[in-house]
Homo-oligomer: A and B are copies of this chain.
Amino acid sequence: MTDNLDQLCVNTIRTLAMDGVQKAKSGHPGMPMGMADATYVLWTRFLVHSPSDPQWPNRDRFVLSAGHGSMLLYSLLHLTGYDLPLDELKRFRQLDSLTPGHPEYGLTPGVETTTGPLGQGFANGVGMAIAESFLAATFNRPDFPLFDHHTYAIVSDGDLMEGVSHEAASLAGHLGLRKLIYLYDDNEISIEGSTDLAFTEDVLARFRAYGWHVQEVDGHSLDAVDAAIRAAQAEQDRPSLIACRTHIAYGAPNMQNSAEAHGAPLGVEEIRLTKEALGWPTDEPFHIPDEALAVFRHAVEQGRTAQAKWTDLLTRYRVAYPEEAVLLDTLLAGELPEGWQEALPTFDAGDGPMATRKASGNVLNAIAPVLPTLIGGSADLAPSNNTQLKSCLAFQCGAEGGRNFHFGVREHGMGSILNGMALHGGLRVYGGTFLVFSDYMRPSVRVAALMGLPVVYIWTHDSVWLGEDGPTHQPVEHLAALRVIPNLVVIRPADANETAAAWQVALERRDGPTALALTRQSLPVMDESRRDAAETVARGAYILADASGTPDVILIATGSEVALALAARDLLTQQGIAVRVVSMPSMELFDAQPQSYRDGVLPPDVTARMGIEAGVTSVWHKYVGTAGDVLGIDRFGASAPYKDLMKKFGFTPEAVAERALRLLGK
């Protein structure tokens, strides 16, 4: 009887989750048990995927936003035939297993994104759906629907409480992402107890207000879930939310509907009782009935068939649209079209002073034509961040080939959506806001770094020198706070040419995000920097101006402070001091250089060193050493024209020269 077989399958998921958490003595069994039914329906009746090729470009994307329910995902990946042996499920949450506490992208085959920090997966899915629709608009041709897949997610109460999900949901509704279908695990239980303690909003009405198609079903009724997903697929204008009313830890006689089942093993006795109630063998953990496995494993053959059909489509596409196909191959491989660097502009000192944010805008617009899937935008600061691609349209509902994104005042949503776009493949993405508001998107930046996604952040107004907007808008701690995120490269270019080089580094990077910290105010274009900015910036720090012999003092500066260091050098040289100026656009890139290169730039025997940067000083001691000095700003800023602030904070050539003399004991 089909019904019984279905139940057998569902209970296989349920018991694997129980057993995995119990064996690990840690984890979250309640959610997988509650959502086993709905997820079973999705994975066996709707999800188009190919377990033998998790990279198939046109697969449906599945996101477990409620990442704490990772055993649900691991169970399904194993059961449907991904390269995830049962032994790995038995090593849940152990060192070097493929089944960490929360799903990790790049580690486990079939895991589409790293989740756990709530709300991130919700917004990642929005980014994936955006990517699909952009690639479809760009590469599909009549009778060639190369990109035509859905993006599904399972989202929890916690996901829907997090602000980032509100931001992403509002934007998804605005953009009319009709192929986005989310199952909401509406179990009314969170860690502190009933969701009634803090979460009594009308979720469906809220999503309707965002412009979503909404449904509510019994999450334990396979038929109801089936019908709801069908209706969601049929919806032509809006993303879909299907609220599945479920019971957490469904099937556990004493733990069902209990907050205790959220984040701890059920215990040996409760598992025994649950298995007895399910008619399950109690003496064999990780038991998988053969009949159930056979049902799940259909996915392998179904996937191969679907993928073969698509590969055939692509083969015919190659003939009909050879140029597009070549480009597509490059992009799907994560590569950039050959020779793209030739489009990078260079700047002359004679061009006059230019803010690095403006230089960045010029670079973006120069390379946009040769990088047709370079897309991005700003959190409502495009005119200030210079993120607009002037030759391109906006990405909007009905104009999904547009390359300019209006993210709205939603920095966090932007960051997490960018991650989803990057995860999808085929795109290179960027997003802009003021550097101070990198704080708003920081959780998404962290996950991008953890996943190794090549996202580019355009963070302008990068110091107190933005002036009049005052301390709420003036970053002082942000460069330091970003530099400590592992695998994030922060570049603060000193002029227009360093900015072009920074873009080259950022786009050639494939294993992690890059942040560009750019000025509001104009900076001179330095002659010195022009010759080989691409190479010097890639090394993180380099000698920009040197003394003829051994330097008495080294001035190390970043961004807008490099010109200041050069001016101070002129004053010091007049007094007979031998000064080396080092431009250090990126500490991370410099730290990655061989010791010999680093010692060449900062010779160990020159201990009179001064770091100069309009921000907090704590990260500089590594470079200036015990005998050195740092000119920074270890306090919040102030509202005033920036030249007044430079005087106030001692960032004038005279003040720097004087301080350097003091350091030299003169």
Contacts and interface: CB of A to CB of B under 8 A. Distances in A.
Interface of A: 24, 26-27, 67, 93-97, 100-102, 104, 114-118, 157-159, 161-167, 170-171, 173-174, 190-192, 197-206, 208-211, 378, 380-384, 394, 396, 406-413, 436-437, 439-440, 442-443, 446-447, 449-450, 467-473, 476-477, 480-481, 483-487, 616, 618-619, 621-622, 625-627, 634-636, 638-641, 644-645, 648
Nearest to A411: B162
A645 B116 contact: no
Given A163-B167, A191-B380, A648-B95, A409 B100 contact: no
Contacts of A384: 191
A204 B208 CA distance: 12
A450 B162 contact: no
Contact of A104 (B383, B471, B480, B622): B471
A50 B622 CA distance: 53
Contacts of A472: 67, 101-102, 104, 114-117, 447, 450
Given A170-B201, A205-B205, A442-B442, 19 more contacts: A26-B469, A93-B639, A97-B639, A100-B471, A101-B468, A102-B470, A102-B472, A158-B409, A163-B163, A163-B167, A191-B380, A198-B408, A202-B210, A202-B211, A450-B636, A480-B480, A480-B481, A618-B618, A625-B625
A497 to B, nearest CB: 28
Given A443-B439, A472-B67, A616-B484, A161 B197 contact: no
Contact of A380 (B158, B174, B440, B625): B158
Contacts of A437: 117, 443
A441 B396 CA distance: 31
Given A116-B470, A472-B117, A408 B199 contact: yes
Minimum-distance CB pairs A-B, first 6: A163-B163, A100-B639, A116-B472, A198-B408, A166-B166, A95-B640
Contact of A621 (B163, B468, B621, B639): B621
B473 A102 contact: yes
Contacts of A190: 380, 408-409
Nearest to A408: B198
A197 B157 contact: no
Nearest to A193: B406
A209 B206 contact: yes
A21 B192 CA distance: 49
A209 B209 contact: yes
Contacts of A473: 101-102, 116-117
A174 to B, nearest CB: 5
A636 B487 contact: yes
B380 A483 contact: no
Contacts of A413: 163
A37 B287 CA distance: 70
A201 B172 CA distance: 10
B104 A470 contact: yes
Contacts of A205: 205, 208-209
A638 B102 CA distance: 10
A26 B477 CA distance: 25
Nearest to A623: B621
A472 B449 CA distance: 11
A100 B661 CA distance: 35
Contacts of A163: 162-167, 410, 412-413
Nearest to A204: B209
A621 B621 CA distance: 6
A173 B162 CA distance: 16
Nearest to A627: B626
A208 B204 CA distance: 12
A62 to B, nearest CB: 18
Nearest to A202: B209
B439 A197 contact: no
A623 B116 CA distance: 35
A436 B450 CA distance: 13
B483 A618 contact: yes
A496 to B, nearest CB: 24
A406 B192 contact: yes
A195 to B, nearest CB: 8
Contacts of A200: 173-174, 211
7 contacts: A26-B468, A93-B470, A104-B471, A197-B408, A201-B211, A450-B472, A480-B480
Given A471-B450, A484-B480, A173 B201 contact: yes
A502 B94 CA distance: 34
Contact of A101 (B470, B480, B487, B648): B470
A159 B412 CA distance: 13
A447 B658 CA distance: 34
A149 to B, nearest CB: 25
Contact of A174 (B96, B116, B199, B640): B199
A94 B645 CA distance: 10
Given A104-B471, A205-B208, A639-B93, A486 B481 contact: no
A309 to B, nearest CB: 36
Contacts of A640: 93-96
A96 to B, nearest CB: 8
Specify which of A164, A483, A486 lies most central, judged by the most chain B CB atoms within 10 Å of its CB.
A486
Specify which of A381, A383, A447, A648 lies most central, judged by the most chain B CB atoms within 10 Å of its CB.
A383
A445 to B, nearest CB: 9
Nearest to A410: B161
Nearest to A440: B443
A66 to B, nearest CB: 11
Contacts of A618: 483-484, 618-619, 622
B157 A192 contact: no
Given A163-B167, A167-B161, A210-B206, A486 B199 contact: no
A209 B27 CA distance: 33
A476 B164 CA distance: 23
Contacts of A644: 94-95
A198 B487 CA distance: 31
Contact of A477 (B380, B477, B485): B485
Nearest to A91: B640
Specify which of A67, A116, A203, A648 lies most central, judged by the most chain B CB atoms within 10 Å of its CB.
A116
